[in-house]
Amino acid sequence: MKSIVKIAFFSLLCVSSLSAQQKDFKGYLFAYFEGKGPGEKQEQLRFAVSDDAVNWKALNNNEPVVASKDISNTGGIRDPHILRSADGNSFYMTATDMNTKKNGWDYNPGIVLMHSNNLLDWKSSVIDLEKLYPTKFKDIKWVWAPQTFYDTKAKKYLVYFTVRFKYNEKLDFYCAYANKDFSGFEQEPKLMFSPKDGAIDGDIIYKDGVYHFFYKGNTKDENGKEIKNGIKQAKSKKLQGPWKESFEYLDYYADKKTGVEGSSVFKLNNSDEYILMYDLYSSGRYEFQRSKDLYHFTDKTESFTKDFFPRHGSVIGITTEEAIRLQEKWGGIPQSLLTAKDGTFQFKAEGNPIIKHKFTADPAAFVEKDTLWLFTGHDFEGGQKGYKLKDWLVFSTTDLKNWTEYQVPLKIEDFKWDKTNDAYAGQTIKRNGKYYWYISTNGSGIGVAVADKPQGPYKDAIGKPLLTNADCFASTHSWTCIDPAVFIDDDGQAWLFWGNGVCYYAKLKENMIEIDGVIKKIDFKGLQFTEAPWVHKKNGKYYLSYASGFPEKIAYAMADNIEGPYEYKGILNEIAGNSNTNHQAILDFKGKPYFIYHNGAIQTNGSSYSRSVCIDKLEYNNDGTIKRVVMTTEGVTK
């Protein structure tokens, strides 16, 4: 299989060098071919990644990562096996050169060898045994499931595979050392292991002085009829044998009607536990059993969760740096594998929503020097049936394309006085070298947290609410004290706006943690205020934007004084797709105005309760009024 990488879990699976073993593996890479979808796309190399070796996510939207036509003679590959090199810095992959969708199962004489230094770019070659070694392999029928193992004594990579000849139904394992550039064999392959009743899908792993050879075997009666099959094991003190075959079956299904194949064993990262996984090819499942000694495996099977339909593949461990490379090339890597040692996570915005790896809502932002800092709420997960927010998030960018996410800076549990456990909308601002984050809860009030850096960490600044429902004199419902918005005017006076149903405002003292004077409310003709106030100033005019109606649109008004009187100017933003709520931030960044909001557009799990932040352009008319925002999927990054 020309450009295929079968993943033999990581260097500890093989006898690898110390440098490879010392790598800090954070996750797992699964190389496989697909078992569903259009036939011409199935026998192609694909990758998936997991942070726990159980829950898997396909890369590249489950499209091929290397096209079979570029690496194989037949136009198809099967059984990819991937191996990390002995020094830990490069990768080898083998695969069956076979296109059953096009040519059927009758004949395939070749395998694919691949080599990469980065997991992204692969050099490949095809070995056709019948053409290269016409005497020994003249009447070959099948060359199946090649794998690679590093021989520490020979300091070479041994490729082994199953062979069947046309004149004999017996399936045996042959092997040969690869040449230095992993493009061919040093010599003609020779017989390595001949199991009593034949075998396919071999996988070798070394532990405590013993080579363990796992494979799919069978049992035949005195007439040569197969009566049982499943995963077997043979053992040897030497890599090329002789092998002592065990006639016991290891897999859970050996005594059942369900067939299994494609067994592969890998060691869990930072653990003494091994996984024996196999393909339940007739029922479309992938399951596994566990072991600590490679002799005794758990009786009960466990299942992978996945968003793809894998066939015979293999697994290796990967580092954070490798996960980042894979993410940049193909996407789909879990965020847990992309987080750097300092807790940051780098990602690129590709249109709207700008953040797709988690659900974000209620944006607020400010600009400091050449950096835009974005603060959001965090809808707990996708497909929710109600609002569930437990913490707040912070991001930064210098170009609106490349973003950094920081460690969670603030959680609702940081406010000990809160009784609701609901982390509602907030806004952050800088003053006197400190950063103040005004947050709201679902009934306990508005709080304020403080930090020395915009990314935090933040802590409760006063140990009690800054405002409660008791301060909302014109309201009677319990969720009125929400959505704080802070603004510092040109004269240095800080103002706080908030509310649901009624728009309240008040001055803040210089210390930013006390209300200064009387609490008032905004009222003007056409107000129809629901929530989410935001105040900004441009060319001497004050703009009050807010969510109006339900489902919510964003409306706005203008005034010559921050306390009004305000004049209603109309709708600024229509109902945001798939979201009843609408919440905005408006600011200039590097000379251009922007409108930041959320919608429920991430499919299939986006909704009014699983929202996502977006950014689009904002445009002013010559008279200072604002043009209605055009919400786009392209956003501002194209």
Around Cβ 538, how many Cβ atoms within 10 Å? Answer: 15
- Among residues 203, 362, 379, 471, which one is catalytic? 362
Residue 52 DSSP code: S
Instruction: Give the bridge partners for 27, in sequence order.
Output: 318
Contact 437, 410 (CB under 8 A): yes
Q: Which residues contact 626 (CB under 8 A, 6 or more apart)?
A: 543, 556, 569, 572, 618, 619, 620
Listed in order, strand segments (DSSP E) in 292-353 are 302-303, 310-319, 345-348
Around Cβ 475, how many Cβ atoms within 10 Å? Answer: 17
Residue 610 DSSP code: B
- Among residues 172, 201, 405, 531, which one is catalytic? 531
Q: How many angstroms separate the CA atoms of 96 and 94, rounded?
A: 7
Q: Which residues contact 132 (CB under 8 A, 6 or more apart)?
A: 184, 185
Q: Which residues contact 114 (CB under 8 A, 6 or more apart)?
A: 1, 2, 3, 4, 5, 66, 71, 92, 93, 94, 95, 122, 123, 124, 182
Query: Which one, of 174, 53, 45, lies nearest residue 116 by Cα?
Result: 45
Q: Residue 482 is which amino acid?
A: I
Query: Which one, of 448, 404, 405, 402, lies nearest residue 429 by Cα?
Result: 448
The yes-or-no answer on residue 362 being catalytic is yes
Query: Which one, of 179, 169, 109, 176, lies nearest residue 144 by Cα?
Result: 109
Using alpha carbons, list the distances in angstroms from residue 155 to 15, 85, 186, 235. Answer: 11, 11, 13, 21
Give Cα 585 distance to the centre of its chain: 28
The yes-or-no answer on residue 121 being catalytic is no
Give the N- to C-terminal CA distance of the chain in Å, as an integer.
38
Write the Ramachandran bin of 180: left for phi over 0, alpha for psi from -120 to 50, otherwise beta. Answer: alpha
Q: Which residues are catalytic?
A: 362, 531
